[in-house]
Structure 1
Amino acid sequence: MIDVLISFVSVNGSPGVSTAAMALTWVWPRHAVVAECDPTGGRALGVFDPDGSHGRPGVFDLMLQARTMPLHRAMSGQLLVLPDGTGRHHLLPGVSSPREADSLDWRRLTSLFLELETVDVLADCGRFRSRATPAAVLSEADLVVAVVRNCRGSLGSFARAVDVLRDEHGVFDHEGLVVLIADPDPRIHQRFAHGEIGKELGLHVVGALPWDPVGAAQFTDLHRPGRKFETSPLLTHARRAADEIGRRAMERMSWLRKPPPVVNGHVR
């Protein structure tokens, strides 16, 4: 099966883009790697390996090793198996500092992702910043998923950022940019109907993740899940969203990567 590259980004604040990417990878129906591509640094290694028993694997060492060895060998040495019981889902930790991110060749890293076979890559690009955002990871993605908090401020900020995402990072068409809604605490924020959000933004809404601080803490604090974690609201909704996101990414990938037609011996 051909792999897909799906990039996740948020616009402002902390609406849960990393939690979304982790939760979706956890329930992804195929082999998958969640790659921390946030230039401000990765945090998931501390969640799943708090004592540092796996050393310090990540995208920086992957780039170094990929210069001298086959990609799959270099990649396998930098991955951490997620403890979801499947053995199919992995974490590629991010950089340890913004300075390390500045030295990364994001275009080369994106090319490495696209060279993988039978593995989908879910890239957590963090908060959208016009200059610091890893542009190649967005522009070369089969699908860009914007994680937007369901409140007036975040929706307004995202609506203003859509044109920048398209113009500066190559996400030009409506099919290439979709929205995943993160519902906030209903006691604090006024929330809007998901269908109305899609109409107002003129973009497809591929799902919504509920307000579930207990479930989210398993991906942001320390992973010590209880018996009800697999049936938590977060993972239940993530499974639905994963199916829709995967379907759209596969469809768009088939369109983006199809060979050009040949007419009378010439490529058109």
Structure 2
Amino acid sequence: MALVALASAKGSPGVTTASLVIGALWPRQVLLAECDPSGSDVGIRMTAPGGTPLNSDRGLVSLAAASRKGLGDEVVMQHSQQLDGGLDVLLGVRSPEQVGGMGGLWHPLGVTFNQMQTGDVLADCGRISSTSPQLPIIHSARLIVMVCSATGSSVAHLRERLATLVHHVDAQLGVIVVADPKKRDAVKQVWSVLDAMSAPVRHRWHLALDPVGAAFFEGQGHGRLEKTQLIRSATDITAEMASLVSAQHGFDMAQAAFPQGEWNER
């Protein structure tokens, strides 16, 4: 199986929302791992099956303590939990102060994520810089996807980060631009910036900026999630990303994303 890392170069262009929606649509078994040292958003936004709160003490920090005896699929999954809707998640730290207790976990965790036998791993790495502690996760990934908005400042920081990454990783590089579906010209301008770079960013996607769809991944959605612009744009993106990191095919995307219609009733 494979590790896919999602990150941003600046601000909050929607990495967590993108990670959640892609995880919900992923066509095979997948674990969403929160590797953002700024603190867990999933634990605040989402709930366990039945609407009960997630266990904030079970996740990356508890895994760090258990990892002293070794890492592996079973150990990682023991510290993961399931969201209402069926997605498995490894919650991140509750606050940045907890990162100090992670020790040397980041590198072996990246290797473990990329070698998981039970499924793929989507790592929400949040904002990254040259000194980010979660960089070993990025370096272990087979596909690195940078998430940005179509604003000038976001694209400028994206360009700088990609220029650095290209010299330190062997993974495939991709970019998701989160933008209003009607602002195609702004998205094309981002592609023009990438074309002018030497960084080999072959994979480029436009994810709809959709408050209605995003509300579902903030625990506030109503109606039919699969009809939203967010899901419509994310479906093809997810299918392509999944095919890039694995040769496995034959999965029912709709069934994987919405088993037994859990999301439809929200």
**TM, length-normalised to structure 2:** 0.80
Aligned to 1:76: 77
Q: For 2:169 and 2:55, how far apart are their aligned partners in 1?
A: 36
Match for residue 18 of structure 1?
A: 16
The reply to whether residue 181 of structure 1 matches residue 177 of structure 2 is yes
**2:93 maps to 1:95:** yes
| Alpha-carbon distance in 2 for matches of 1:53, 1:139 | 29
Aligned to 2:239: 243
Is the Cα–Cα contact under 8 Å of residues 9 and 154 in structure 2 kept in the other structure? yes
Task: Report the CA distance shift for 1:154/1:66 in structure 2 as closer, same or farther (over 3 A).
Answer: same
State the Cα deviation string for residues 99-153 of structure 1 (Å, max 9, x = none). 2113322012213323421310000110122212411101111110011212222
Task: Give % identity.
Answer: 26
- 1:93 Cα offset (Å): 0.4
Once residues 159 and 52 of structure 2 are traced to their aligned partners in structure 1, the CA distance between those partners, rounded to angstroms, is: 41
Report the alpha carbon displacement of residue 238 of structure 1 after superposing the two structures with TM. 1.1
Contact 1:171 1:177 in 2 (8 A): no
Q: Is the 8 A contact 1:37 1:124 kept in 2?
A: yes
Taking the aligned partners of 1:183 and 1:160, their CA distance within structure 2 comes to: 20
Paired residues of 2:60 and 2:79 also in contact (CA < 8 A) = yes
Q: CA deviation at 1:160?
A: 2.1
SS of residue paired to 1:191: helix
Q: Secondary structure at the match of 1:125?
A: strand
Relative to 1, partners in 2 of residues 1:211 and 1:114: Cα closer, same or farther, differing over 3 Å?
Answer: closer
**For 1:127 and 1:55, how far apart are their aligned partners in 2?**
22
1:8-157 matched pairs, under 5 angstroms:
8-49=6-47, 52=53, 54-68=55-69, 71-84=72-85, 87=86, 89-104=87-102, 105-157=105-157
Separation in 2, partners of 1:101, 1:177 = 27
Q: How many residues align?
A: 239
Q: Secondary structure at the match of 2:131?
A: coil
Alpha-carbon deviation of 1:247?
A: 1.7
Distance 1:207 1:171 in 2: 21
Which has more radius of gyration?
1
| Alignment CA distance shift 1:133-1:240 (3 Å) | farther
Tell whether 2:191 aligns with 1:191.
no
Contact 1:206 1:244 (8 Å CA) reproduced: no
Partner of 2:186: helix, strand, or coil?
coil
In structure 2, give the amino acid aligned to 1:59.
Answer: L
Which moved further from structure 2: 29-38 or 144-153?
144-153
Kept in 1, the 8 Å contact 2:46–2:54? The answer is: no
Match for 2:82: what amino acid? V
Contact 2:5 2:137 in 1 (8 A): yes
RMSD: 2.6
The answer to whether the Cα contact below 8 Å between 2:58 and 2:79 also exists between their aligned partners in 1 is yes
What TM-score results when the alignment is normalised by the length of structure 1?
0.79
Unpaired runs of at least 5, structure 1: 252-268
The one-letter amino acid paired with 1:214 is V
CA separation in 1, counterparts of 2:129 and 2:70? 33
Q: What code does the residue aligned with 1:108 have?
A: P
Partner of 1:160: 160
